[in-house]
Chain A
């Protein structure tokens, strides 16, 4: 399956975040994903790469798109996949996370895809278990496969990452997607701009090598790509912004504003989209919008991650 000339060997049993990865490791995942993206184009969408491997999808926070994307990736790799959600598991009966993980390990599972509401939970779990851990989103920290699929999509469309101006608009503070993108894109040499009111920007994030611009017009000026982040309606009562209405009128993106970006700029969104809030409907459906392309690419990227991690497990 592997068909690239990358020199480095994948050695990690876990994918916890892009913070820990080198540029070469990110490159290896992207190259591997490229070769897997072809599988989903076939009439018979199946590769035997993970035949005989067992994967548990442990989603302790509600998720639809990420969970489905992982499940499809696992099935297309011929892995045996089982889902566990918090509602149906014994964790609601008071079992600790570590006991849950120990039980999964005792079932001779190879990989655990894990989403948790607490930042760092997969990092701690990874020290407890021989199973490979894929972080499918931890608190407000990271969502590495989303970050990777965003970067993959960008690279596919632009042919490179270095030197691109990539802008993120919205709730950066609570966005694990933004954090993973920041770590990954800065390592690959992109110029990253974050835009939102001060209340939605994490303390001192400029120290990570990104620019913060509060004026959305200035932020997207000359951009190669703009990623919009969902405004989380449930955070309204934290008084981080006065109203959805003012947010939409100040930071919402429309076709007119988007003309400030480069003519061939691409628009991305990790979903779910709040039409009429952070993005005008017409723009979401325009030819410059690659939101659905991201969804498709997500499967290839997740296949690549699962494949590489299971290879590292084998080497143990």
Chain B
């Protein structure tokens, strides 16, 4: 397995980097000084005594990326991923902080599991931000112990893959979460409609003879959750929006002033259900890849601010699990290591986004949603959490380069433009 080793930064002067920090309204070629793992300052022609220097000419120095949606599988599914291997994948992709999902075994539905995950990440010097379960055992029946989880470090609550079907339970759980200011992250999907579908329901599933999950399964769930938000005024965060109808409803909810935020994944903005033609299980994810119309709606949603953030839904599965027939193989794709390249290729290069726009979706908005203002910007006196990237570097994402423990990516073999070359996390430097 590939391994990145971090160097604790003692005294480093990064020269000639294009420093981009929209929050601080910075975008120019400058130097940045890091000492004892912390950012000292940035500016033109800095002097730093005894500092090591690094020439970053041609590279972009930006606040580190934050992923609102990852599965690190520990405890319980260490054969798919561990916190250590997940952190490796995150750093390789330029992420300095990740929100982990609670579908571990046991579920992260109590303070002990939150603490365990935080301790594992602290040893690794990574900013792990666990989410806790919304209901006990993610069973959708009884509200989980959110107050204690929050004290232990949980940043949000969600039952992720298990949408709370019972609207009465959901109401109480969302209300309880609102008591503690915890965002409710919803994997909006009515499972009674999705049933045993393996891909998007539409003309492609009909042609391939595969069972489908219609847009309605997601749209109905988003509609209900928006109405609960209207009732409760909890912070609703809609995960991995994939349908044009979902985007439209979130847009309307925001227009009405409801406290709703949303994320979309790189695969939903880059790929469609046409990818399924070879029955390749690496394209089996949930929500499924949808039609071109939906993909365009997701991109428009990102561009007009309806969708606040890009999150990967990094979902590692062992090769032998994923290499089963299409009915049996689990849902999901890894995403941390390809996300920056895919977003730059599709949106920065493909649709002429500014690099600030990318940062807004992958760093600033996530930090705001979590109210973690140490992230999403450069801050003197704080740990170095930033990246150095080449926005024009062309590369091919390949299985042999993966740092995650699992190799189920829907982007293998794809030509990408834009790559993170150095990630600084908590003052440790990792170079790719």
Contact = CB atoms under 8 A, between A and B. Distances in A.
Nearest to B325: A118
A287 B51 CA distance: 97
B206 A140 contact: no
Interface stretch (A45-53, A204-212, A256-264): A204-212
A98 interface: yes
Chain B interface: which size bin? Answer: 20 to 34
A301 to B, nearest CB: 20
In terms of DSSP, what is the predominant structure of the interface of chain B? loop
Interface stretch (B100-108, B207-215, B335-343): B207-215
A61 to B, nearest CB: 11
Contact of B209 (A96, A117, A127, A142): A142
Contacts of A313: none
Given A119-B279, A203-B202, A98 B208 contact: no
Interface string A126-146: 010000000000111110000
A138 B209 contact: yes
8 contacts: A97-B325, A120-B208, A123-B278, A139-B327, A140-B211, A203-B206, A203-B214, A205-B206
Interface in B210-245: 210-212, 214
B209 A140 contact: yes
Identify which of A96, A117, A204, A208 gathers the most chain B CB atoms within 10 Å of its CB: A204
A127 B214 CA distance: 30
A124 B209 contact: no
Contact of A141 (B201, B210, B214): B210
Given A96-B324, A139-B327, A119 B206 contact: no
Interface in A217-237: none
B330 to A, nearest CB: 14
A120 B209 CA distance: 8
Contact of A120 (B202, B210, B214, B323): B210
Given A98-B323, A120-B210, A203-B206, 16 more contacts: A97-B324, A116-B325, A118-B326, A123-B279, A124-B278, A124-B279, A138-B209, A139-B210, A140-B210, A140-B211, A141-B208, A142-B209, A203-B202, A203-B214, A204-B202, A204-B203
Contacts of B326: 118-121
Identify which of A97, A140, A203, A207 gathers the most chain B CB atoms within 10 Å of its CB: A203
Contacts of B320: 96
Interface string B311-331: 000000000100111111000
A96 B208 contact: no
B279 A203 contact: no
A208 B206 contact: yes
Given A97-B325, A118-B326, A120-B326, A203 B209 contact: no
B210 A208 contact: no
B205 interface: yes
A204 B279 CA distance: 20
A117 B326 CA distance: 10
Chain A interface: which size bin? Answer: 20 to 34
A304 to B, nearest CB: 23
Given A96-B323, A118-B328, A208 B207 contact: yes
A269 interface: no
A179 interface: yes
Given A97-B324, A98-B323, A139 B209 contact: yes
A119 B209 contact: yes
A146 B189 CA distance: 37
A200 to B, nearest CB: 13
Contacts of B212: 203
Contacts of B279: 119-121, 123-124
A119 B278 contact: no
Interface string A102-127: 00000000000000111111011001
B238 to A, nearest CB: 25
Nearest to A207: B203
A279 to B, nearest CB: 25
A13 interface: no
Identify which of B203, B214, B325, B326 gathers the most chain A CB atoms within 10 Å of its CB: B325
